[in-house]
Structure 1
Amino acid sequence: MLERIAVTLAITIGAGLAMTAAAEARPELVGMSGQYSPGTIVIRTHERHLYLVLDGEHAMRYPVGVGKAGKQWAGTTTIDGKYRYPAWAPPAEVKRDKPNIPDVIPGGSPQNPMGVAAMTLAGGEYAIHGTNVPNSVGGFVSYGCIRMLNPDITDLYDRVSIGATVVVTR
């Protein structure tokens, strides 16, 4: 009995440490082959990582939260807008699932899921954005948007321009 309690406690503590580590992760410089042009954002959904290509051999890697089952997508698009502390109007699908959610949540509100910054993606209702729920980063959690820790979206926001290519793979 004591052994089972010890194992359960170890698993619980380990999971808590893993979530804390993900919530506090910082971007890191990693090697990346020259398949993409510098300035391209590559999101590997299955890895739950976003890469900003720096040159033919290096990228900055950030942990991200991605679309939950049935909400993932893949393709190539561009950044078509950049916003600090954006207000958020839930898309129709979110409103349908959560009818009591306000029609607009002001920027800066703790209930605003966009966090401190957002970069909208052309051709849809998706964005790469911060979050006020840091433990969601690293999971399959969204309706298709890419969630980043607020310090990480701030770093990425300062590094990319409107028009940057975004490649999402599964």
Structure 2
Amino acid sequence: MTCWTWFGPAAAVALAAATLAAPGAAEARKTVPFTAEGFRPGTIVIRDRERALYFLAGENRAYRYRVAVGRRGKHWFGTAYVKGKYVNPAWSPPADVRRDKPGLPSVIPGGSPRNPMGPRAIMLDRDEIAIHGTNRPGSIGTFASYGCIRMMNADILDLYERVGLGAEVVVTP
């Protein structure tokens, strides 16, 4: 299962404010009570059924973000770890995406409005899977991806600053 292929940091591109904050983004992110025995602060818990990502902040609270998760047959469950963080990542469609959409270009540069990665990507140690922004904000809250976790661009900017390399990511049904 693959979601994206990273081709290195794109040149720094100033993103328009419209791509950073889609309508309703402010309502999507909130601090909520969260009891997570066995997890340390800094852990990301994704509840697939809820289409929600929780960043554990400690003291029984978490930041909750609405997300899009993998569509039928493309989602995954289990544990992964953050292995990289990227600004304006370029995107190359992996083989399974290219099979479904053969007309896609081989690379879409970072910062392009056509780039499905958005302004930030948090790469996991799991077969080209990432938590990233989106150029399709209407997909948030749905089962839409090829395995990646999509976030509103304003939300990935927020999470990107909070999460550290090596952080645990747990995806539950």
1:97 matches 2:103: no
In structure 1, distance between residues paired with 2:54 and 2:84: 19
Which residues of 2 match residues 145-160 of structure 1 at below 5 A? 145-160=148-163
The amino acid that maps onto 2:114 is Q
> Structure 2 vs 1, CA of residues 22 and 71 (structure 1 numbering), >3 Å: closer, same or farther?
farther
SS at match of 1:128: strand
Output the amino acid matched with 2:29: P
Give 1 or 2: higher helix fraction.
1
Alignment of 1:135 onto 2:138: yes
- 1:76-102 Cα distance to aligned partner (Å, 9 max, x none): 010101001100011110011111101
Q: Which runs of 5+ in 2 are unaligned?
A: 1-21
Which amino acid in structure 2 is aligned with residue 152 of structure 1? D
Greater relative contact order (Cα < 8 A, sep 6+): 2
Are 1:46 and 2:46 counterparts? no
Tell me which amino acid in the other structure corresponds to 1:132. N
Unmatched 5+ residue regions in structure 1?
1-19
Q: Is the 8 A contact 1:129 1:147 kept in 2?
A: yes
Conserved? CA contact 2:25–2:154, under 8 Å: no
TM-score, scaled relative to structure 2: 0.83
Does structure 2 conserve the Cα–Cα contact (< 8 Å) formed by 1:48 and 1:64? yes
SS at match of 2:170: strand
CA contact (8 A) 2:25 2:155 kept: no
What TM-score do the two structures reach when normalised by structure 1? Answer: 0.85
How far residue 22 of structure 1 moved from its aligned partner, in angstroms, is: 5.8
Structure with larger Rg = 1
Using a 3 Å threshold, how does the CA distance of structure 1 residues 92 and 168 change in structure 2: closer, same or farther? Answer: same
1-side partners of 2:126 and 2:151: how far apart? Answer: 21
**Whole-angstrom CA distance in 1 between matches of 2:94 and 2:35:** 36
Q: Spell out the pairing of 1:3-14 with structure 2 (5 A cutoff).
A: none
Other-structure match for 2:112:
109
